[in-house]
């Protein structure tokens, strides 16, 4: 059960799409690809540990 919590620094972040400027909230440790709800541009790519954020991080919501 405790195996699920590997990175205690997970948080939600607001990311701005580099393509259309749409802002949306994503999980910083997302296990799935997150795409822009407006244009479909890929914003977050899951990686081991922490997800790679392709969009511009507007702010961090902890």
The residues that touch Zn ion, with contacts defined as CB under 5 A, are 17, 19-20, 22, 36, 38-39, 41
13: left (phi over 0), alpha (psi -120 to 50) or beta: beta
Least gap, CB of 17 to Zn ion (angstroms): 3
Residue with tokens 């997150």: 34
CB nearer to Zn ion: give 36 or 51. Answer: 36
CB nearer to Zn ion: give 10 or 42. Answer: 42
Least gap, CB of 33 to Zn ion (angstroms): 14
CB nearer to Zn ion: give 35 or 50. Answer: 35
Q: What is the side-by-side order of every strand in the sheet holding 56-61?
A: 23-27, 12-16, 56-61
Tokens (6 digits) for 11: 């948080």
């Amino acid at each position: 059960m405790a195996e699920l919590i590997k990175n205690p620094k997970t948080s939600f972040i607001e990311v701005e799409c580099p393509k259309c400027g749409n802002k949306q909230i994503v999980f910083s440790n997302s296990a799935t690809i997150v795409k822009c709800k407006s244009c479909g541009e890929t914003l977050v790519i899951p990686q081991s540990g922490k997800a790679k954020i392709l969009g511009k991080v507007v702010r961090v919501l902890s």
